[in-house]
Amino acid sequence: MNTPDKNRYENMKYARCGNSGLMLPKISLGLWHNFGGVDVYENAKEMVLQAFDLGITHFDLANNYGPPPGSAEENFGRILKSELAAYRDEMVLTSKAGYLMWPGPYGEWGSRKYLIASCDQSLKRMGVEYVDVFYSHRPDPDTPLEETMMALDQIVRSGKALYAGISSYSPEQSEAAFKILQELGTPCLVHQPSYSMFDRWVEDGLLDVLEKYGVGSVVFSPLFQGLLTDKYLKGIPEGSRASKEHGFLQASQITEDKIEKVRALNEIASARGQKMAQMALSWVLRDERVTSVIIGASKVSQIEDAVAVVNQPALTSEEIDKIEEILLG
């Protein structure tokens, strides 16, 4: 059993998630990549333990994280049982259902049958009695929104999750979902959208809707799958996400235009004494409506760099304007 650092809460900052009693760390750890069955278990364990030592209490999972699907939850469950079992109440564990998880008509999207079955499977894989947040991972165009939200409500009422969340819903879909959940008596705690300098759709109404309904936001892909780092400034390195067949970032997404912008942004970061990745996190966190930012990591040093951001100076209005100029250029 691991003994966590007794000073683990000293350097992390925590923010209230929307209009709720739950505080989340400004930096959360996502287990989307590098924690699956194809990855090195010892490295995954080391990253989880170091994250917890640095004050990261929020670990973000989903049924299909791996590969293979389900293996990230299994590995996390193994780490929890062997190293951190005594600290479950100091953690916020989240899972989701929405993407393809098993074959046949009940293995994806937003039906009551799929969400509840998937939640049960996730709890078994992680070896826990409940998750803190259970999400509808994506909107389902063919299932009534009421059905999906009633499933989330039931999951919370049955004690399998403490809070309900949604991910990747548009502003209009989000507003409709929030209204239904409010009527059911299980208000939505959090929305999980993608957000980065290269992916700004949340600024077109979503953050306003979240503010209106008192819903927090935990954003993912703040580094645009690693592109907003210094990693690709000289081409595609071996072992990077873009070089992996099963990775989400494809080499075709790394355009010369984007690389030029990252080079220019990297100069601003250097002048601030930050790495490019750190400035990308500072930029996402400049809006107070962003409760927390989920980082992915393939090694411990990336987690340490990310956590350092919470104690680095916030971006000035001049820096934000310069960044805007580069992004719009």
Q: At 26, which CATH number?
A: 3.20.20.100
Q: Which residues constitute the domain of residue 102?
A: 14-234+277-316
pLDDT at 240: 64
As for how many domains the chain has, the answer is 1
Is 208 a domain residue?
A: yes
Cα end-to-end distance, the chain, whole Å:
52
Is 253 a domain residue?
A: no
Q: What is the pLDDT of residues 69-124, one digit of tens each?
A: 999 999 999 999 999 999 999 999 999 999 999 999 999 999 999 999 999 999 99
Is 28 a domain residue?
A: yes
Amino acid, res. 194:
S
Is 1 a domain residue?
A: no
Is 265 a domain residue?
A: no
pLDDT at 132: 98
pLDDT at 253: 72
CB 202 within 8 Å of CB 170 = no
Where helices occur in 197-255 by DSSP H, the ranges are 206-213
Amino acid, res. 60:
D
pLDDT at 248: 58
Is 260 a domain residue?
A: no
Positions of the chain with pLDDT under 50: none
CA dihedral 303, 192, 21, 173 (to 10 degrees): 170
pTM to 2 decimal places:
0.95
Is 119 a domain residue?
A: yes
CB 164 within 8 Å of CB 188 = yes
pLDDT at 29: 98
Is 254 a domain residue?
A: no
pLDDT at 242: 61
pLDDT at 244: 61
Which residues 6+ apart lie within 8 Å of 277 measured at CB?
Answer: 223, 228, 229, 230, 302, 305, 306
Structure tokens at 212: 């209106």
pLDDT at 251: 66
pLDDT at 237: 67
